[in-house]
């Protein structure tokens, strides 16, 4: 009698992967399109069929080595909207067939001082979606169930994707500004995150004047269309000093220039995971009496907490905040990244799968 055997067939999926560090000023196709086995969820995880994934400057930082992946190859993408295909967790508020989102926060240890105090964004074992674990530039992905967020019906898939990173990190940045209605706010750089912050401020702080610094004339025009009071170049000066400024750029020059524009006691919040090296010498131009004296502060933003994501999604649905979105077919992932690198920015870029 022949022994009983079972053959298990794993379906493949299409995915974009980072295989190595590349220079996007020289490399037009930094991602490779490959076939991978469809991931299988383990206990406490969800399998998602990806519908849309936002494209972020952080992917460029990963590709160019400023925040490199833990290992290669890796599927990038951390603004993911998908449908639950397989539920291996214990959450009862999420079911198979539900639409959920995945943000930058993939997993944390859950037991350290930071995790227990709601500051899991500072956990030493913080793992980022699309960097330390495969992300959403793929047809399917798995995610720990406590890092999946239900998406309100108010948003399409493409509209929801940028809210999960650009929106959530902007929300955290605004909180770190310690904003009160009537204060003045500057935004230096005007891409996906900053344009959502402006929409949020228009609703939450209607008496706050927002000033935008952007080197791109199209970005300045876009900011004015969305209701900012004044928009100018990074090196220009508004008519009055500002209470706080959020920097969303990948370089150092806007940071130094922004310090000129802060009031005494003002705070500059840097919303960037890394800064690019080419203009690092600009830091040598920091003059302590001119830029930092009079109790000015510089505060960095590190990752997001789950609470940041949950709260922002609900606030965005209530307002509602609808991001300006430029959609790309899945096959154009490299083009979307190059457009960000070349500052072809108006709102947020999203891969639609």
- Between helix 192-204 and helix 306-318 the angle, nearest 10°, is 60
Which tokens go with 308?
């940041």
Cβ-proximal residues to 253 (8 Å cutoff; 6+ apart), any chain: 234, 279, 282
Q: Is 32 helix (H, G, I), strand (E, B) or coil?
A: strand
**How is residue 74 annotated by DSSP?**
B
The fraction of the chain above a pLDDT of 90, given in percent, is: 83
For residue 318, count other CB atoms closer than 10 A to its CB. 11
Residues 69, 131 contacting (CB under 8 angstroms): yes
Q: Is the pTM of this model over 0.95?
A: no
Whole-number pLDDT of residue 3: 41
Whole-number pLDDT of residue 342: 87
Residues 222, 196 contacting (CB under 8 angstroms): no
Report all structural domains of the chain as residue ranges with CATH numbers, in order of start: 51-61+77-84+97-148+304-353 (3.90.180.10), 169-300 (3.40.50.720)
Cβ-proximal residues to 64 (8 Å cutoff; 6+ apart), any chain: 21, 22, 23, 24, 276
Digit-coded pLDDT (tens) for 77-113 = 999 999 999 999 999 999 999 999 999 999 999 999 9
Does 1 score more than 70 pLDDT? no
Whole-number pLDDT of residue 347: 72
Digit-coded pLDDT (tens) for 310-341 = 999 999 999 999 888 999 999 999 999 999 98
What gap in Å lies between CA 304 and CA 61, rounded to an integer? 17
What gap in Å lies between CA 225 and CA 248, rounded to an integer? 19
Which tokens go with 318?
């209530």
Whole-number pLDDT of residue 331: 97
CA R_g for the chain: 21
Does 307 score more than 60 pLDDT? yes
The fraction of the chain above a pLDDT of 70, given in percent, is: 95
Which tokens go with 180?
């009160």
Which whole-number Å values give the CA distances from 260 to 241, 266, 284, in the listed order? 8, 11, 15
Residue length of the chain: 353
Digit-coded pLDDT (tens) for 213-256 = 999 899 999 999 999 999 999 999 999 999 999 999 988 899 99
Does 162 score more than 80 pLDDT? yes
What gap in Å lies between CA 344 and CA 353, rounded to an integer? 22
Residues 190, 217 contacting (CB under 8 angstroms): no
Residues 227, 206 contacting (CB under 8 angstroms): no
Which tokens go with 6?
């079972």
Does 280 score more than 80 pLDDT? no
Cβ-proximal residues to 27 (8 Å cutoff; 6+ apart), any chain: none
Which tokens go with 96?
């198979």
Q: For residues 148-175, give the mean pLDDT.
A: 95
What gap in Å lies between CA 96 and CA 42, rounded to an integer? 15
Binned at pLDDT 50, 70 and 90, residue 19 comes out as: very high
Residues 303, 105 contacting (CB under 8 angstroms): yes
Query: Is the Cα torsion angle 181, 118, 350, 65 positive or negative in sign?
Result: positive
What b/e sequence results for 115-143 when a residue is b if at least 16 CB atoms lie within 10 Å of its CB, and e otherwise?
beeebbbebeebbbbbbbbbbbbbbbbbb
Binned at pLDDT 50, 70 and 90, residue 276 comes out as: confident
């Amino acid at each position: 009698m022949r022994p009983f055997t079972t053959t298990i067939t794993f379906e493949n999926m299409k995915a974009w992967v980072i295989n190595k560090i590349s220079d996007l000023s020289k490399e037009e196709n930094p991602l490779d399109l490959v076939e991978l086995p469809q991931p299988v969820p383990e206990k406490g995880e969800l399998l998602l069929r990806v519908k849309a994934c936002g494209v972020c400057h952080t992917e460029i930082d990963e590709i160019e080595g400023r925040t490199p992946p833990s290992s290669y190859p890796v599927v990038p993408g951390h603004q993911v909207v998908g449908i639950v295909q397989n539920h291996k967790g214990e959450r009862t508020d999420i079911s198979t067939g539900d639409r959920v989102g995945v943000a930058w926060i993939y997993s944390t240890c859950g037991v350290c001082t930071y995790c227990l105090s709601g500051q899991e964004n500072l956990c030493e074992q913080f793992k980022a979606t699309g960097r330390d674990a495969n992300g959403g530039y793929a047809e399917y992905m798995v995610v720990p169930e406590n890092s999946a967020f239900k998406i309100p019906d108010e948003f399409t898939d493409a509209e929801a994707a940028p809210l999960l990173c650009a929106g959530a990190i902007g929300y955290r940045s605004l909180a770190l500004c310690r904003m009160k209605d009537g204060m003045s706010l500057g935004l230096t750089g005007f891409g996906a995150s900053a344009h959502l912050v402006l929409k949020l401020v228009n609703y939450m702080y209607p008496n706050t004047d927002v000033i935008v610094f952007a080197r791109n004339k199209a970005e300045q025009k876009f900011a004015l269309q969305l209701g900012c009071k004044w928009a100018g170049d990074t090196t220009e000066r508004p008519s009055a000093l500002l209470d706080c400024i959020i920097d969303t750029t990948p370089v150092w020059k806007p940071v130094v220039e922004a310090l000129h524009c802060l009031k005494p006691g003002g705070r500059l919040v840097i919303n960037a995971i890394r800064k690019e090296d080419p203009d690092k010498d600009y830091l040598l131009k920091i003059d302590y009496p001119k830029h930092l004296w009079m109790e000015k502060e510089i505060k960095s933003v590190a990752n997001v907490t789950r609470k940041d994501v949950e709260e922002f999604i609900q606030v965005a649905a209530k307002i509602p905040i609808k991001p300006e979105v430029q959609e790309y077919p899945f096959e154009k992932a490299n083009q979307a990244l190059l457009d960000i690198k070349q500052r072809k920015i108006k709102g947020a870029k999203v891969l639609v799968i």
